[in-house]
Amino acid sequence: MEIDLGGRTALVTGAASGIGAACAHALAASGAHVLSVDISPEALEKQAAELGSEPIVADLTDEEALARLEPRLRAVDVVVNNAGVQHVSPVEEFPPERFAHLVSLMLVAPFRLARAALPGMYARGWGRVSVVHFDAHADTGDVQYGSLIGHGLPMRRLIESGACRGDRFLQIGLRGYWPEPETLAWMAEQGMRSFEMHEVVQRGLDAVLADAFAIATDGCDGVFVSVDVDVVDPGTAPGTGTPEPGGLTGRQLLDAVRRIAIELPVVGIDVVEVSPPYDNPAQITALLAANLAYEMLALAALAALAEG
C-alpha cells in the first residue's frame, strides 16, 4: 500500500531502534516530516542524517519533557507510540517504583500524546480510514448507566467525532436482542452497514467479506480492523464479559482476518473484550486473541514487504 504523506507531519516515540525506527523510515519514505522522539541522542542524530528526520530527545516519564512536547503535537497528522520497556518478575517481587515507571511511560504518556494531537487532527479533517468491526454487539448506544462513556458506546462516539464516516463503518457478526429501535434508526441515518449473523449463515462468510471489502475500500486509503472476541461463539471463546450464543467459529474468524491482512490496506488493529477470569483453564480465548493479533500483524508485514 502506498500513501503519499507529503506535507504531513508524523511523530514516532521510541524511534531510535526496532519497530519505532522501522516506522520512522516508512513514514519518511512516504514523504512525511518525521519527529523522532527517543532518549538516545546519538541514535537520533544518526537517524536524522539518514532520513532528514527531526530528532527530539525526551524522557516521556518526565512531566516537563511531556509538557514541552505537547505544543508540537498540535500540528502532527500521524502519531506512532512505540516507546516502552519490560520488566518481568513475580508480583510479590515487583518493585512499586518500577511499576509506576511502566504506567507513566506506557499509559500516561500515550494518553497525553493523543490528547494533545487529536484537536488539531479533528480541525484539519484529514484521514480517510474505514473500519471493519467484528462484534456480537453494535456498540452504538448513546448513554449507558447515565454516562456517555461505556463499552457499549464507543462506535457511536467514534462516528460522532468525525474520525470515521458512518457509511464506511462495516460490522460483521451482530446478533442478540440489542440494539433497540432508536439506536438502529441512528445507525441507519449514518449509513452504517451491518452484516448480522443470520446473513453470514445464509450467504456465507466469503460473500459477506467480499461486500464489506468493496465498501471499505471505496474512497478510503486505509482500513482499521477491530475485533471483539465475543463475535466468536462462547463455546469457542468463553473468556469475555458479554458472551452471545450463535457466533462465528474461531476458524472462521482467523480465516477472515487473514484475508483482510492480505487483501486490504490495513493501517491499524485491535483485539478487545478478552476477560481472563471467564476463560477456561486451557485459556482458549486468550490463545485465540493472541493468534488473531499475530496473524494480522505478520501478514500485513509480509504484504508490505511484497510491495517493496
Q: 126: which residues sit within 8 A by CB, 6+ positions away?
A: 8, 77
Q: How far apart are CA 217 and CA 75, in angstroms?
A: 27
C-alpha cell at 115: 490528547
Please state, in angstroms and rounded to a whole number, the distance separating the CA atoms of residues 33 and 50.
Answer: 13
Residue with grid cell 506512532, as numbered in its chain: 80
> What value does the mean pLDDT of the chain take?
93
Q: What is the pLDDT of residues 226-248, one digit of tens each?
A: 999 999 999 999 999 999 999 99
> How sure is the predictor about 194, in pLDDT bands with cuts at 50, 70 and 90?
very high
* Predicted confidence band of residue 127 (pLDDT cuts 50, 70, 90): low
pLDDT at res. 1: 54
The identity of residue 288, as a single letter, is L
Residue 106 gets which letter from DSSP?
I
> Residue 233 to residues 12, 65, 208, 225, 299: CA-CA distances in angstroms?
38, 46, 18, 19, 25
Is 139 in a helix, a strand, or coil? Answer: coil
Whole-angstrom distance, CA of residue 7 vs CA of residue 42: 27
User: For the ranges 132-136, 138-142, 177-181, which has the lowest average pLDDT?
Assistant: 177-181
**Distance separating alpha carbons of residues 161 and 81, to the nearest angstrom:** 21
| CB atoms near residue 12 (< 10 Å) | 31
44 vs 32: CA distance, rounded Å? 17
From CA 298, how far away is CA 25, in angstroms rounded?
Answer: 19
- Average pLDDT over every residue of 181-201: 96
Helix (H) or strand (E) holding 102: helix 96-103
For each of the domains in the chain, give its residue range(s) and CATH number, in order of start.
Answer: 9-124 (3.40.50.720), 129-307 (3.40.800.10)
Interval 63-110: pLDDT, tens: 999 999 999 999 999 999 999 998 989 999 999 999 999 999 999 999
